[in-house]
Amino acid sequence: MVDRRTVLGSVGAMGMGLTVGQVAQARDAAATRKRVAFDPMNPAHNVMGYAKMHGSLDGRRTYHYSTGYIVGYLPGELPQQLTGFEQLKINEMQDNKDGTYTDVYSSLYMFTEIDKPVLLDSWTNPFTGRETDPFHYRSGPSRTLITPNGFKSVKNKEGSGSPDPFIMPWLIMGDTVFYRMNSATWFPSALDPKEWPLESPGNEMISSFLTTESGSLAELEDPDTPTVHTTGFVNAQSNWLPWMLMGKIPGSIAYHVVSQKSYSLDHVPAETLANVEKVQPGFLKDALELPYTLQYVEYKNSRKPVK
């Protein structure tokens, strides 16, 4: 017996170029997929689940493409959209063969026209009216150890991890699994406000990230499938970016971003790939072999204080 859902699924799949036989094979494969029940309260399952959602257990390189926009907030005023935003992160998940993984990743951050993959060469700050030059930058490669006792520094494997034990707030809705991760950072400003009065937000840098990743529970529970193809959502808040030249003006920015992870770059717009090559030639090939760097290191090495 063929129900309406099967017919619609078959028609949709054939519309993508699949034959009736291929549709049947895909349906049968999904029905016979191996399953090992995922226990969200088991730290070892959390390690496997995070590594599989974030990378690929077999060490294959994965590409995380994010796109969205940045909003600016001034006290007592409605927010304003400031720029578009794109990020391309490349990662490899290394299996340490002891129930832990090392996540190696590097990212490129680019500022664009809103809702268009058009790289900004200049930008007029709507709060100050000042024209500035956006600073596109690379960060990483970074390495994070994922263990049943939480995230750890690869340089301090015996140190404490967070969270310990490694249990994340998972959510399962039908065959869709979500993991949610909330984090915040505080550190002294990398830009001395006396030397960088317009670029520095002051003596401290504060940021927070609300991250959600979703994917197929069947893929997560299949021991023969090394990765979960994910869609993600990120809301983040931080100080003004240095190139916005906001100085001591009170306020902050927020990122509203969606993302996808894949083994290939097919989900990344051609314009974005061209932007990547323009900002950081060779990044797609050498991202994980380049020297380590951070946004403010790059900024200080590339710019001089604006007078």
3 and 82 within one domain = no
Residue 230 has what pLDDT?
A: 97
Tokens for 83, please give them.
């720029």
Residue 267 has what pLDDT?
A: 95
Structural contact between residues 138 and 298, judged by C-beta atoms closer than 8 angstroms:
yes
Residue type (1 letter), 224: D
In a domain, residue 241? The reply is yes
94 and 198 within one domain = yes
Quickly list H helices, 184-294. 217-221, 270-279, 283-286
Distance between CA atoms of 116 and 85, rounded to whole angstroms? 9
Residue 4 has what pLDDT?
A: 35
List the one residue out of 170, 136, 185 whose CA is nearest residue 48: 170
272 and 196 within one domain = yes
Distance between CA atoms of 140 and 289, rounded to whole angstroms? 10
21 and 42 within one domain = no
Residue 307 has what pLDDT?
A: 82
In a domain, residue 290? The reply is yes
In a domain, residue 98? The reply is yes
Structural contact between residues 229 and 63, judged by C-beta atoms closer than 8 angstroms:
no
12 and 42 within one domain = no
43 and 13 within one domain = no
Q: Could you tell me the CA-to-CA distances from 151 to 96, 183, 240, 241, 304 in Å, in that order?
A: 14, 12, 28, 27, 36
206 and 68 within one domain = yes
89 and 234 within one domain = yes
Residue 25 has what pLDDT?
A: 53
Name residues of the chain where pLDDT drops below 50.
Answer: 1-18, 22-24, 26-27
Residues 183-206: tens digit of each pLDDT: 999 989 889 999 999 999 888 989
In a domain, residue 102? The reply is yes
**Percent of the chain as helix, strand, coil, to the nearest 5:** 20, 35, 40
In a domain, residue 106? The reply is yes
Split into its structural domains, the chain has a count of 2
Element (H, E) at 26: helix 20-31
101 and 47 within one domain = yes
List the one residue out of 76, 105, 110, 77 whose CA is nearest residue 91: 105
Helix (H, G, I), strand (E, B) or coil at 53: helix
In a domain, residue 307? The reply is no
Residue 26 has what pLDDT?
A: 44
158 and 277 within one domain = yes
Distance between CA atoms of 211 and 241, rounded to whole angstroms? 20
Distance between CA atoms of 165 and 2, rounded to whole angstroms? 47
Q: Which domain holds residue 58?
A: 36-302
Residue 157 has what pLDDT?
A: 87
168 and 22 within one domain = no
Distance between CA atoms of 232 and 255, rounded to whole angstroms? 13
Residues 145-174: tens digit of each pLDDT: 999 999 999 988 888 899 999 999 999 999
In a domain, residue 215? The reply is yes
2 and 98 within one domain = no
Distance between CA atoms of 62 and 291, rounded to whole angstroms? 20
Cis peptide leading into residue 141 (ω within 30°):
yes
In a domain, residue 289? The reply is yes
Q: Average model confidence (pLDDT) for the chain?
A: 90
Residues 38-54: tens digit of each pLDDT: 999 999 999 999 999 99
